[in-house]
């Protein structure tokens, strides 16, 4: 039986055709996206995580549409498929900080859900400054364009020390599980509300996806907007306390330097130039992000103290 | 009338059902939603998260136990039965045509019949606890006495005025009668407590919580279906009955025979026991509607003086009808068992 017929039958749809084979469908109930899952426990986590986030009102996640029998998935050819709404119109960032903030809070809160039966690929990628120095050795002795790397090493050491202090301040708190594909590009506009198309990858227990999300935000909208976003998120999920320390620590860790050094190991000149270029941009954006987040946290502390 | 604003307002809710409205009409708290996929009723409510879960459970449970005269809920595309948007909760049902052409008495019969059936299907004999019964007695007694005290204070204040307002005058001329009703209610409440202690029993049922003709709809086949179970609760069956009779008595044409006939109808399916009958008399006799009118008067209701007097008079008349009903109710034979208040029966059974 063709996948279109299966979907039509299982979901009680009257008209189904491919819009973008094999992912996007055009149906009598609007555009739908098919996701394919090989790992059942991963599918279960994504289903429960989306449902958990859907318990609260406000921005919506692309939850699994139920079949006629109320199932969240169907089994097809030794894998599972799920059906989701698919929307095209992007949801703006600037001016919509409240809605995006509510979404971030929802995603973080839902990520605190227990990952039952899921072998989470927890980010054990701890930052180690000594191994960074080892990576930097070959380039640190070269001159020219690598002077940027050499200068960044001192700053990176300070940031790593500061990040460790923040992690200590957070005590036993751990970050929630996050969808690694968290991005400002995945927000869609449906009748003036924010509809978020989440990913399908293994969740990670680190604030790296949020760091990247915030980098995208500050690059697109600037510092005041980012602060409004954090304030909106903080209303539903406390970012000014332990979880905020973990987020700030994640932003502080100079991951962009490590990534650049790893890219430079190949020795390809063209790649080296592009890596340095990317590093320089990311370093600057992250510097702005770090300033904005620490300022926001300080402002919040002052408000509490007052 | 549909406005673009209404479609905009309810669009996000209807998105959960993949419904794109062509027209939305407001009919009370229900929106009639006309779409290419059919006509639906979207109900707006205020419920906490726990209440939402309970509400969904109640609807599903009623169907499981064989009560199908409930307006069904449509699940969202995500399998939920309610949608939360801000402080409001919404749920979607099929659209049933208007029941306006049906006669009032017939509607009441269907309503009482359905309520009795739900009570019969969900009845549970609770483990009798004298402490819980006594706590309930003391709690209600305390609340009623404090209400009486508030009303006495209002009376004293009104009496001190040189010129009483028409409202105060109306209230004062019925004060003693009102207080007598409160005392009757307390006496019946004591009878309920003594009955529970003696029989060592207490029954709970699923109460609809908002028994009203307006919560009854008729399908195309003419079958009555109940809806609005938002306030459903496990409690004594008397809770629903008291609500029904209180409301019914507000119609000026209602009399004790109508009440007795409806009670007979109810007891065909779910006969009350002695102490439940006493509790019903007690709940009905306490003049809370009159006291509420006084509260509204004291809290500067938006109504004019004359409108407030009308409200009070209407409630006094309703209470008079209720009193008449209750007097007959105490003599009305129990459908399911013998009345322990009857000395002959008591002696024969050796209860007392």
DSSP result, B46-80: ---HHHHHHHHHHHHHHHHTT---BPPPBP-TTS-
Q: Does A63 touch chain B (CB under 8 A)?
A: yes
Residues of B75-105 as b/e, b for ≥16 C-beta within 10 angstroms? bbbbebbbbbbeeebbbbbbbbeebeeeeee
Q: Are residues B109 and B86 in the same domain?
A: no
* Cα–Cα distance, B148 to B127 (Å, whole number): 33
Last residue of one domain, picked from the residues B94, B122, B149: B94
The answer to the question of residue B351 being in a domain is no
Q: Does B8 touch chain A (CB under 8 A)?
A: yes
CATH number for the domain that contains residue B218:
3.90.1200.10
**Residue B35 structure tokens:** 């779409």
Residues of B165-181 as b/e, b for ≥16 C-beta within 10 angstroms? eebbebbeebbeebeeb
> Is A57 in contact with B86 (Cβ distance < 8 A)?
yes
> Is B79 in contact with A54 (Cβ distance < 8 A)?
no
The answer to the question of residue B137 being in a domain is yes
The answer to the question of residue B326 being in a domain is yes
A70: nearest CB among B12, B49, B79: B79
Q: Does B161 touch chain A (CB under 8 A)?
A: no
pLDDT tens digits along B274-296: 999 999 999 999 999 999 999 99
Contact A99, A191 (CB under 8 A): no
Q: Does B49 touch chain A (CB under 8 A)?
A: yes
Q: Are residues B40 and B130 in the same domain?
A: no
Residue A192: its pLDDT value, please? 87
Contact B339, B273 (CB under 8 A): no
Residue B30, pLDDT above cutoff 70? yes
Task: Calculate mean pLDDT across residues A133-157.
Answer: 76
Cβ contacts (< 8 Å) between A57 and chain B: which residues? Answer: 84-86
Residue A302, pLDDT above cutoff 70? no
Pairing of strands A187-190, A193-196: antiparallel
> Is B11 in contact with A191 (Cβ distance < 8 A)?
yes
pLDDT tens digits along B311-332: 999 999 999 999 999 999 877 7
| Beta carbons within 10 angstroms of residue A115's beta carbon | 17
Instruction: ipTM value, please give it.
Output: 0.85
Pairing of strands A60-61, A193-196: parallel
Cβ contacts (< 8 Å) between B24 and chain A: which residues? Answer: none
Which of B18, B53, B88 is the best mutation test for A, with the most CBs of A within 10 A? B18
Residue A164, pLDDT above cutoff 70? yes
Angle (CA) A185-A188-A194 rounded to 5° is 115
pLDDT tens digits along B157-181: 999 988 999 999 999 999 999 999 9
Residue A256, pLDDT above cutoff 70? yes
C-alpha distances (whole Å) from A9 to each of A74, A226, B209 are 11, 45, 40
- Number of structural domains chain B divides into: 2
pLDDT tens digits along B226-240: 999 999 999 999 999
Percent of chain B residues topping a pLDDT of 70: 91
Domains and CATH numbers, chain A: 3-85 (3.30.200.20), 97-305 (3.90.1200.10)
Q: Are residues B148 and B43 in the same domain?
A: no
Residue B345: its pLDDT value, please? 31
Question: Helices B238-248 and B256-267 meet at what angle, rounded to 10?
Answer: 150
Q: Are residues B36 and B119 in the same domain?
A: no
Q: Does B18 touch chain A (CB under 8 A)?
A: yes
Sign for the CA dihedral angle at A43, A46, A51, A54 comes to negative
Residue in chain B closest to A72 (alpha carbons) equals B78
pLDDT tens digits along A172-181: 999 999 999 9
Higher pLDDT, residue B111 or B99: B111
What is the span of the domain harbouring residue B88?
Answer: 4-94
pLDDT tens digits along A18-76: 999 999 999 999 999 999 999 998 999 999 999 999 988 899 999 999 999 999 999 99
pTM (2 decimals)? 0.81
Q: Are residues B89 and B157 in the same domain?
A: no
Residue A292, pLDDT above cutoff 90? yes
Residue A123, pLDDT above cutoff 60? no
Contact B66, B121 (CB under 8 A): yes
Residue B221, pLDDT above cutoff 70? yes
**Residue B189 structure tokens:** 């409440």
Please give, rounded to a whole number of angstroms, the shortest distance from the CA of B65 to a CA of chain A.
Answer: 21
* Cα–Cα distance, B185 to B190 (Å, whole number): 9
Residue B83, pLDDT above cutoff 60? yes
DSSP string, A235-283: HHS--SSHHHHHHHHHHHS-HHHHHHHHHHTT--HHHHHHHHHHHHHHH
* Cα–Cα distance, B328 to B198 (Å, whole number): 24
> Judging by beta carbons within 10 Å of its beta carbon (0-12, 13-18, 19+), is residue A169 exposed, middle or buried?
middle
Task: Calculate mean pLDDT across residues B9-19.
Answer: 92
Residue in chain A closest to B50 (alpha carbons) equals A55
Residue A305 binned pLDDT confidence (cut-offs 50, 70, 90): low
* Cα–Cα distance, A206 to A37 (Å, whole number): 23
Task: Calculate mean pLDDT across residues A87-92.
Answer: 96
């Amino acid at each position: 039986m063709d996948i279109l017929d299966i979907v039509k039958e299982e979901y009680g749809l009257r008209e189904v055709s491919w819009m973008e084979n094999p992912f996007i469908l055009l149906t009598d109930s609007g555009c739908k996206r098919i996701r394919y899952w090989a790992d059942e426990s991963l599918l279960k986590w994504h289903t429960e995580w989306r449902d958990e986030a859907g318990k609260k009102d406000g921005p919506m996640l692309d939850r699994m549409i139920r079949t006629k029998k109320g199932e969240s998935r169907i089994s097809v050819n030794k894998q599972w498929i799920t059906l989701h709404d698919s929307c095209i119109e992007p949801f703006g960032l600037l001016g919509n900080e409240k809605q995006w903030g509510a979404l971030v809070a929802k995603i973080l809160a839902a990520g605190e859900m227990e990952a039952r039966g899921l072998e989470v690929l927890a980010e054990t990628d701890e930052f180690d400054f000594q191994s960074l120095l080892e990576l930097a050795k070959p380039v640190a002795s070269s001159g020219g364009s690598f002077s940027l790397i050499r200068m960044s090493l001192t700053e990176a050491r300070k940031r790593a020390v500061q990040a460790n202090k923040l992690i200590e301040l957070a005590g036993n708190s751990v970050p929630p599980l996050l969808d690694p594909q968290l991005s400002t590009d995945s927000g869609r506009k449906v009748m003036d509300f924010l509809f978020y198309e989440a990913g399908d990858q293994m969740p990670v227990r680190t604030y790296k996806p949020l760091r990247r999300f915030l980098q995208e935000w500050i690059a697109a909208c600037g510092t005041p907007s980012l602060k409004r976003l954090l304030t909106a998120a903080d209303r539903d999920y406390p970012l000014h306390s332990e979880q905020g320390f973990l987020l700030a620590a994640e932003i502080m860790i100079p991951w962009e330097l490590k990534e650049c050094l790893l890219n430079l190991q190949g020795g390809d000149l063209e790649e080296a130039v592009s890596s340095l270029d990317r590093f320089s941009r990311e370093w600057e954006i992250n510097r702005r992000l770090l300033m904005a987040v620490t300022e926001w946290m300080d402002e919040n502390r002052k408000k509490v103290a007052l | 009338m549909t406005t673009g604003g209404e479609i905009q307002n309810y669009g996000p809710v209807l998105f959960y059902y993949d419904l794109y409205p062509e027209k939305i009409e407001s009919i009370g708290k229900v929106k009639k939603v006309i779409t290419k996929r059919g006509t639906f009723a979207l109900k707006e409510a205020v419920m906490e998260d726990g209440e939402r879960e309970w509400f969904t459970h109640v609807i599903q449970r009623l169907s499981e136990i064989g009560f199908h005269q409930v307006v069904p809920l449509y699940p969202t595309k995500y399998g939920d039965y309610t949608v939360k948007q801000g402080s409001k909760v919404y749920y979607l049902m099929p659209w049933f045509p208007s029941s306006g052409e049906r006669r009032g008495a017939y509607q009441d019969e269907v309503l009482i019949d359905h309520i009795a059936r739900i009570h019969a299907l969900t009845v549970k004999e609770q483990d009798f606890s004298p402490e819980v019964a006594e706590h309930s007695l003391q709690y209600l007694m305390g609340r009623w006495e404090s209400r009486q005290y508030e009303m006495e204070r209002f009376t004293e204040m009104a009496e001190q005025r040189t010129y009483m307002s028409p409202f105060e005058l109306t209230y004062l001329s019925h004060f003693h009668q009102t207080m007598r009703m409160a005392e009757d209610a307390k006496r019946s409440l004591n009878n309920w407590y003594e009955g529970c202690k003696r029989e060592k029993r207490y029954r709970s049922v699923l109460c609809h919580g908002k028994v009203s003709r307006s919560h009854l709809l008729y399908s195309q086949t003419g079958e009555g279906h109940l809806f609005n179970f938002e306030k459903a609760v496990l409690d004594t069956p008397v809770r629903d009955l008291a609500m029904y009779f209180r409301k019914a008595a507000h119609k000026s044409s209602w009399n004790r025979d109508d009440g007795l006939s409806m009670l007979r109808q109810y007891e065909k399916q779910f006969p009350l026991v002695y102490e439940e009958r006493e509790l019903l008399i007690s709940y009905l006799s306490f003049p809370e509607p009159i006291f509420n009118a006084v509260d509204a008067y004291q809290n500067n209701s938006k109504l004019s003086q004359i409108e407030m007097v009308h409200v009070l008079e209407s409630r006094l008349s309703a209470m008079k009808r209720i009193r008449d009903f209750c007097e007959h109710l105490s003599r009305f034979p129990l459908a399911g068992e013998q009345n322990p208040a009857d000395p002959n029966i008591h002696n024969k059974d050796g209860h007392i």
